Structure 1
Amino acid sequence: MMKAIQRFGGALFTPAMLFAFAGVVVGLGTLFTTEAIMGPIAAADTTWTKAWTVVLDGGWTVFNQLPLLFAVALPIGLAKRQAGRCCLEAFVSYLTFNYFVSSMLSSWAPRLGVDFSASAGSAQGVATIAGIRTLDMGVAGALLVSGVVIVLHNRLFDTHLPEWLGVFSGSTFVYMVSFVAMLPLAGAVVLTWPKVQVGMHVFQQIILGAGSAGVGIFVFLERVLIPFGLHHLLYAPFYYDNVIVQGGIYAAWANALPRLAAAGQPLADLAPWASLTATGWSKLFGIPGIAAAFYATARPERRKRVLALLVPVTLTSILCGVTEPIEYTFLFVAPQLFVVHAALAACLSMAMNAFGVVGVFSGGLIEMSSLDFVPLAATHGQTYLVALAIGLCFSAVYFVVFRFLILRLDLRTPGRAGEGDVCLNTQDEYRDAHGMPRAQDGRRLGADGEKADVDREDAYALRLVELLGGAGNIEGITSCATRLRVDVRDPGRVAAGGAFVAAGARGAVCAGRAVQVIVGLNVTQVAERVERALGLDG
């Protein structure tokens, strides 16, 4: 069960990876088309505004089509084979489902308590998806339909039909069955979802009424779930769906940017629903404090090497909001520090919220700049100066607390353990030490008789496969922001975390048959090469 949940959580992150660029485009477009900031050049009828409106409308693609993106993206992580074809099946089935819902509501909406004449995107629960007027189920509907299609695809795609029915095999057969399945599913949805929407409205009021305490609890849970790969499941419904605000926090904030940029009222009053995206403050201010503590507590003769290790992962956290590289640096050797980190992150977010610092702050500096600092600095710059002061104070708190605990408990953080604790050995050095042949002497797994590439990246992928117990031990592989998520048959055949570090990875976590290998921001390329090594690239 844990393995399935982890894979599902990783699959949810796939479309979210597009937000970094889309946020930059929307942020800049909003800035350059807001007359209150740019002056007369940004008036409605100027060539400047018309040109930037074209760019801005394109930037809205990701935010305006979130359900469709999630419906297509889920099979990438969960389809066991022919994921591309499963994406097509999910896309068509999702459209079919919405056509069924639309037709049912056109006939029976009054009896179901749905105002189908209301404008799309309103509080009445109606939306337009790919030109289809339907119930506003947000991402939940897309995940439901896509999940059903994935199950059918994994079971039926390879079904052998008589030769004279061969034209209906493969994706056509899956869609035929999905088409039939969508009818009762649509019927169940139109009967139950309006009641779910009422419950969600009540839940919204409870969460928003919790104030800073609710923000702190949310951020703490998000951090402590990271080692298990389940944090996506916590924040995805809030950020991308209708749980807190119509359309999800990200889309609602992006839509509200022009209004926020022109308004002088506090952001906490204008958009209180955005408070739960405070998970990024610890990435911006907490991680540097942790890195400074690691450097200060390292042995003097090793500090240069520790600094070389910490600088890139700290910058990754600050700029991109990806914290796994440095968090896993101490998670393996001092897990108690991770709990402290989660608690401090919660306190930091609560302090920000208490001082009225509200906005989309879940990513790194690049995302925050595009969706907050750049477009809103002219009217809300004072709020961000307050955030800077609070953040720097917490950087100092992080440093003092971590330094005290490391020294008091004599924790083996980087630079404090054995001679090789801050260096990454090459894979060939590891092979030599264990009496194994060099990578270039082996054969590529999954392709009999074919020599392995001498290219460094391919050799690295081959080494990861070996550490995971070999090709025969791997059932499936997907990727997250920085991690490979691998399903293995026998956990006992998986090497220890130190072996993965020696091969060039940041570490590995094994929870039953679910293994997470922390690779870094190039995880997509590494996953592709691992699949090639397994013979899955065709």
Structure 2
Amino acid sequence: MNKGKLNIQAKFQQFAGAMMIPIIVLVVCGLTMGIASPLANFIFTKGTVLWKVARLFMKIASLIIRNLSLWFVIGVTFGLSKKNKGYAALAGIFMLMSVNTVISNLASFDGITQATLNVEWLMENMAMSADKAIVYTKMYTNVLGIFTYDLSIFGAIISGIVVAWMMNKWGDTKLPNALAFFAGPKFIIMLVPVFAVGLGFVLYHVWPVISAGIQTLAIFIGNAGLFGTFVYGCVDRALLPFGMHHLVTMPLRYTELGGTMLVDGVMVSGTKNIEIALTGSPTATHYLIRNFTSGRLLINLGGWPGAAFAMYVTAKKENRKKMLALIIPAVFTATFVGVTEPIEFTTLFASPLLYYLVHVPLSGLAFVLAEATKVSIQGFAVIFMLPNILQPAKVQALSLLYLVPIYFALYFIVFRWAILKFNLKTPGRGDSDVKFVTKKEYRNSRENGPKDGIVAFHDAVIEAFGGRNNIVSVENCATRLRVTVKDDAVVAEQNAWLDDLEALGYVKNGLNYQIIYGPKVTNISADIKEALDIN
């Protein structure tokens, strides 16, 4: 039973990692819109060359946000496929468009087209009440030029999961010589129309029920107010150690679960989508208040610096100078780029109770305070603050001037008390220090190959996992290297990862490992995959 539970958790972790792949496109979207929109709307004169250039960048950002399903089907299919990832991504797009085509045609068989979809027609021909007809019209939209159900990112996720399953199951299928051209990953693309008809048929009849459920959940979240915000903040941090917090954040950011808003005559769903729309709007007076991100500013700019200072003052005096070399980078990454894993996992390793009974509820409270004081600001770290400078009229954040110092003091007092009261082995307090970063560094000799006893970093990581023959799969999300092994007995212990292999954190669930490396994990993962010949 435990093994089955760990396998299910590993699959959820892999899925959460796949959901993070399209995020890079969405980050580009936010930054592009944040910089270009004030230039086009308020600074450059309409019709000038500079205004036209700014408008082009705004249109690119709008293109990204209008086609979310495309980026998510690529990311999910690519992330969940264990082989032939390029073919899988291609098949994922094919599946998404095929499924939407099936839904569109099934609707037309029932007389529902873009021309007939209106309240009057539905009341007259489908015997719907006015209220039911209004709700029904909102179920349809255009996806990549196809009139179909508004499945949001859910249609892309479902299509991606199905194609990834197909690729993992039949991606190496062999056919007779006469049909060899269609063997392997091409066989999956041949199967897409068959599965698309079945999947489209099921979704056409089931989605109205699912859509009603989503609307009910969205109404609950909306009506829950600050309590719902508190629950979100707690769950987000509570799931972080398991790598599954993205499963909570993504639906809120990119579907109607995060709310809807009419921006310049266009109905927008999802907190991130609304925030980008408000950024690009020349009439909006402020950014989104209930954005489920502003609370992180209290933690990143106030809480974690306070906790780090508490760790510094409670360290042994002879270790404090060395502590600065550890604390300053950890605080910098938290405040400047919003990567908090180094200090969060240090807290978790030192005391799970301190993490879950103090940090988690205080995180929830931070989101509540930001929303209650009507903070409307873009970004949760310094690097994402540029749009605020360009559109200061949309920023409402005076409460941060006192909330951030309060959180600094709160974390400092609580962490200092807990460290001393329970003798927690935070950095600098034990004989063997708990570290944010490694002491040793492996030199990367990839270009010239290993020599003079120097081992390429990715080779050292492979060996730490028990060698290439012990590794089943290698994936990564934004900050974590996710590896599944055959035998965990030959994998290096936690201290080896933290002390010798530059890891910022370490999570083990059975045969599934998550090694936290921060933003550089993408390069590490690519090097390992190349060394293992994993495409």
TM over 0.5: yes
Match of 1:78 among 77, 80, 90: 80
Alpha-carbon distance in structure 2 between the residues aligned to 1:200 and 1:477: 33
8 Å contact kept, 1:208–1:273: no
Give the equivalent residue in structure 2 for 1:433: none
CA contact (8 A) 1:483 1:518 kept: yes
- Name 2:474's counterpart in structure 1: 477
Shift of 1:48: 3.7
Matched, 1:287 2:304: yes
CA-to-aligned-CA distance 1:395-428 (integer Å, 9 cap, x gap): 2211111111111111110111115545734367
Among 149, 153, 165, the alignment partner of 1:151 is: 165
Unaligned runs of 5+ in 2: 1-7, 122-135, 261-267
**Residues 460 and 55 (structure 1 numbering): CA distance in 2 closer, same or farther, change over 3 Å?**
same
Per the alignment, residue 363 of structure 2 pairs with 345
Number of equivalenced pairs: 502
Asked if 2 retains the 8 angstrom alpha-carbon contact of 1:427 and 1:502, the reply is: no
Paired position in structure 2 for 1:435: none
Moved more, 455-464 or 513-522: 455-464
Amino acid paired to 1:135 = Y
Task: Work out which of the residue numbers 421, 425, 441 in structure 2 matches 1:408.
Answer: 421
Q: Does 1:507 align with 2:505?
A: yes
| Partner of residue 279, structure 2 | 257
Q: Is the 8 A contact 1:215 1:278 kept in 2?
A: no
**Residues 1:532 and 2:530 are matched in the alignment:** yes
The alignment partner of 1:478 has SS state of: strand
Measured at CA, do residues 159 and 455 of structure 1 come closer, stay the same or move farther in structure 2, by a change above 3 Å?
farther
Indicate how the Cα distance of structure 1 residues 528 and 111 shifts in structure 2: closer, same or farther if over 3 A, else same.
closer
- In the alignment, the residues of structure 1 paired with residue 55 and residue 438 of structure 2 have an alpha-carbon distance, to the nearest angstrom, of 49
Alignment of 1:327-346 (within 5 A): 327-339=344-356, 340-346=358-364
AA aligned to 1:251 is N
In 2, distance between residues paired with 1:94 and 1:100?
A: 10
Contact 2:465 2:491 in 1 (8 A): yes
Partner of 2:521: 523
**Which residue in the other structure is 2:33 paired with?**
26
Give 1:276 deviation, angstroms.
6.6
**Cα contact 2:346–2:434 (8 A) shared by 1:** no
Q: Does structure 1 conserve the Cα–Cα contact (< 8 Å) formed by 2:294 and 2:370?
A: no
Tell me how far apart the structure 2 counterparts of residues 5 and 454 of structure 1 sit (CA, whole Å).
Answer: 40
- Select the residue among 369, 372, 375 that pairs with 1:357: 375
Whether the 8 Å CA contact 1:253–1:274 is kept in 2: the answer is yes
Provide the residue aligned with 1:96 in structure 2. Answer: 98
User: Paired residue for 2:129?
Assistant: none
- Partner Cα distance (1:111, 1:378) in 2: 43
In the TM superposition, what is the alpha-carbon distance from 1:236 to its structure 2 partner?
Answer: 0.9
Confirm whether residue 424 of structure 1 aligns to residue 438 of structure 2: yes
Q: Say whether residues 1:198 and 2:198 are aligned partners.
A: no
Verify the 8 A CA contact 2:289 2:375 in the aligned structure 1: no
Alpha carbons 1:67, 1:141 under 8 Å: kept: yes
Aligned mates of 2:25, 2:324 — CA distance in 1: 31
Q: What CA distance in whole angstroms lies between the structure 2 residues aligned with 1:276 and 1:248?
A: 13
2:324 counterpart (299, 307, 326):
307
Q: Secondary structure at the match of 1:274?
A: coil
Match of 2:18 among 11, 34, 58: 11
1:173 is the counterpart of 2:191: no
The alpha-carbon deviation at position 280 of structure 1 amounts to 5.0
SS in 2 for 1:133: strand
Aligned to 2:55: 53
Q: CA deviation at 1:478?
A: 0.4
TM-score (ref. length: structure 1): 0.86
Measured in 2, the distance between the counterparts of 1:354 and 1:425 equals: 43
Residue identity (%): 29
Going from structure 1 to structure 2, the CA distance change for 1:277 and 1:424 (only over 3 Å counts) comes to: closer
Say if 1:89 and 1:171, in contact at 8 Å, map to a contact too: no
Does the 8 Å contact 2:473/2:483 carry over to 1?
yes
Unpaired stretches in structure 1, ≥5 consecutive residues: 429-437, 445-449
Counterpart code for 1:521: P
Contact 2:507/2:514, CA 8 A, preserved across alignment: yes
Report the Cα offset of residue 511 of structure 1: 0.8
Cα shift at 1:263? 4.3
Alignment deviations for residues 409-462 of structure 1 (CA, whole Å, 9 cap, x no partner): 11110111115545734367xxxxxxxxx998xxx9xxxxx9954599972211
Give the corresponding residue for 1:184: 198
Question: Partner of 1:516: helix, strand, or coil?
Answer: strand
What is the CA–CA distance in structure 1 between the aligned matches of 2:497 and 2:471, rounded to whole Å? Answer: 16
- Residue 345 of structure 1: CA displacement? 1.2
Q: 1:455 to 1:233 in 2, by over 3 A?
A: farther
Q: Partners of 1:252 and 1:352 in 2: how far apart?
A: 18
In the TM superposition, 1:197-276 aligns within 5 A as 197-244=211-258, 245=260, 246-259=268-281, 262-264=283-285, 271=288, 274-275=291-292
Which residue type is aligned with residue 89 of structure 1? A
Paired residues of 1:313 and 1:326 also in contact (CA < 8 A): yes
